[in-house]
A and B are shown apart, each in its own frame.
Chain A
Amino acid sequence: MEWHLFKDFIPKLLAGVPITLGLLAGALALGVLLGAILCYLRVAKVPVLRHGAVCYVSLFRGTPMLVQLFAIYFGLGQFEAVRESIAWPLLRHAWFCAFLTLGLNSAAFTSEILRGGLLGLEKGQLEAAKAYGFSRWKKLRFVILPQLTRISIPAYSNEIILVLKGTSLASTISLLEITGLAKQLSSKHFTPFEAFISAGVVYLAIVFALTFLMQWVERRLDH
């Protein structure tokens, strides 16, 4: 083990952090947005929509993310309709495909977390809101959302870490985020140990920072 290489590699790997964090933030935003919609469809009273949402969730949870990523990045170009659509300039872009896959994937998991949170809400709360004549929007804004956020935070913190780890797959479609850079350093200097362990250190630092952040949010919400 060449210890001085760590000092050399870690700053080089930090150059990949913006891509990693950008993918993370984008995917989480898409995941929450789409996840909330999916969760709404799952508790909706329209059977078709409910079954559709259930299928979406089990499809994305039941298949490896790498397959999803390759199907989107390498696969969609197989269809002429896709190649001629207005979305094609975006869909041939590696960053966009990684963001899309991570986001669609996170949406499935987030909708499950939100659904679990909804089930944890006390029924009396909703009845009380109704008794007070709250409108649907008011009920959502003042009764459901505050409690749902509080209940879902621990599980969602886990989801954030999972998405962070998922961003490493972006390296397989040529993006030079942390894992991609580590692979490059490893093959350039023939130092796999130092390169991948340095990358591990960078990831762990991000995980610890995110964990602290989420604990702070959790404490804030408790007051």
Chain B
Amino acid sequence: MFELLSFGDAGWGDEISRGLVTTLILAVICFVTGTFVGLMLTLLRRAGRFSRFVVGAYVTVLRGVPELLVIYLFFFGTGVFVRGVAASFGYTEYINLSGFFLAALALTCITAAYSAEVFRGAASSIPPGQAEAARAFGFKPSKAFRLIELPQLIVVALPGLGNIWLILLKDTALVSLTSVAELMRQSTVAAGATFRPFTFYAIAAAIYFIISMFSERAVTAVERRIAITGER
């Protein structure tokens, strides 16, 4: 068992660790970009009836369709799309897009939809008097959002965002099906090479589980901290 996980040529320890690093980088990038886009979508929702409809449709579609399908669409579809556009400009060389980039794009789109929903819920819990008071003080809308609404929004949205992080972490495993060498992919390769599938999937499961547990603790700790400063 420990030989299987040793580093170097004999074991799979280095491959699995590299996969773990890729998983974490992917998850962190997509969480940051996804929640940022989600916040922008929430703001866009207020811009008018048409934009509200568009954002609503985007959120409904992305939340109703399996994550795997979205990842397949980006992974297999984007190349065709980009090459089609390039060909129409007369560029006919083969364009190869990085699998990591496409995976990050797909997961960002999914996370944006989920976090837009969380931010919308959080925004509705902030009393309208706050915005009215900001206007009465002569705050510009951008300043009112940045100084009055956003800090409260983040506090209220935090548990929801913690959930999104856990879902995203688990969703990164789907990317292994598109050959991005993250944790799950490396485990599959190791499982195939050693004929010990259960061992390696159990190891992968244990690693995901440990990250999930740590994340949950961290979210609770941050929540508690923010809640205290909120009462001051």
Rounded to whole Å, the gap between the CB of B200 and the closest CB of chain A is: 8
B173 sits at the interface (CB 8 A): yes
Q: Which residues of A contact B18 (CB under 8 A)?
A: none
Q: A64-B184, A70-B188 are in contact. Are A196 and B201 (CB under 8 A)?
A: no
Q: Which residues of A contact B202 (CB under 8 A)?
A: 71, 75
Q: Mark A145-170, 1 if CB is under 8 A from B, else 0.
A: 00000000000000001001111110
**A201 and chain B: residue at smallest CB distance:** B65
Q: Which residues of B contact A191 (CB under 8 A)?
A: 80
Scan residues 195-220 of chain A and give those whose CB is less than 8 A from a CB of chain B: 196-197, 199-200, 203-204, 207-208
Is the beta-carbon distance between A75 and B208 smaller than 8 angstroms? no
Interface residues of A, dominant DSSP: helix
Q: Which residues of A contact B64 (CB under 8 A)?
A: 161, 203-204, 207-208
**B60 and chain A: residue at smallest CB distance:** A204
A44 sits at the interface (CB 8 A): no
Stretch at the interface among A28-36, A120-128, A178-186: A178-186
Is the beta-carbon distance between B201 and A70 smaller than 8 angstroms? yes
**B171 and chain A: residue at smallest CB distance:** A64
A135 sits at the interface (CB 8 A): no
B66 sits at the interface (CB 8 A): yes
Q: Mark B203-226, 1 if CB is under 8 A from A, else 0.
A: 011001100110000000000000
B174 sits at the interface (CB 8 A): yes
Is the beta-carbon distance between A200 and B173 smaller than 8 angstroms? no
A67 sits at the interface (CB 8 A): yes
A193 sits at the interface (CB 8 A): yes
Is the beta-carbon distance between A193 and B73 smaller than 8 angstroms? yes
When the two chains form the complex, which single residue of B69, B196, B201, B209 contacts A168, counting CB atoms closer than 8 Å? B69
Is the beta-carbon distance between A67 and B173 smaller than 8 angstroms? yes
Q: Which residues of A contact B60 (CB under 8 A)?
A: 204
Is the beta-carbon distance between A192 and B80 smaller than 8 angstroms? yes
Is the beta-carbon distance between B208 and A165 smaller than 8 angstroms? no
Is the beta-carbon distance between B201 and A203 smaller than 8 angstroms? no
When the two chains form the complex, which single residue of A75, A167, A183 contacts B72, counting CB atoms closer than 8 Å? A183
Q: Which residues of A contact B199 (CB under 8 A)?
A: 75, 78
A77→B173 CA distance, assembly (Å):
22
A137 sits at the interface (CB 8 A): no
Q: A74-B197, A183-B72, A204-B65 are in contact. Are A172 and B177 (CB under 8 A)?
A: yes
Q: Which residues of B contact A79 (CB under 8 A)?
A: 198
**A211 and chain B: residue at smallest CB distance:** B64
A76 sits at the interface (CB 8 A): yes
**A183 and chain B: residue at smallest CB distance:** B72
Stretch at the interface among A55-63, A92-100, A111-119: A55-63
Q: Which residues of B contact A61 (CB under 8 A)?
A: 212
Is the beta-carbon distance between B197 and A70 smaller than 8 angstroms? yes
**A77 and chain B: residue at smallest CB distance:** B197
When the two chains form the complex, which single residue of A58, A67, A192 contacts B76, counting CB atoms closer than 8 Å? A192
B77 sits at the interface (CB 8 A): yes
A106 sits at the interface (CB 8 A): no
B149 sits at the interface (CB 8 A): no
A36→B232 CA distance, assembly (Å):
43
Q: Which of B68, B81, B188, B199 has the most CB of A within 10 A?
A: B68
Q: Which residues of B contact A196 (CB under 8 A)?
A: 69, 72-73, 76-77
A65 sits at the interface (CB 8 A): yes
A179→B76 CA distance, assembly (Å):
13
**A169 and chain B: residue at smallest CB distance:** B68
Q: A78-B197, A196-B76, A200-B61 are in contact. Are A63 and B66 (CB under 8 A)?
A: no
Is the beta-carbon distance between A165 and B66 smaller than 8 angstroms? yes
The 6 closest A-B pairs by CB, nearest first: A75-B198, A168-B66, A64-B173, A62-B212, A192-B76, A71-B201
* Complex A-B: 22 CB contacts under 8 Å: A63-B208, A63-B209, A64-B208, A67-B187, A67-B204, A70-B191, A70-B197, A71-B197, A74-B197, A75-B191, A78-B196, A78-B197, A161-B63, A165-B66, A166-B66, A168-B66, A179-B69, A186-B72, A193-B80, A196-B77, A199-B69, A203-B64
Additional 4 contacts, C-beta under 8 A, given A64-B171, A75-B201, A179-B72: A63-B205, A64-B174, A64-B208, A75-B191
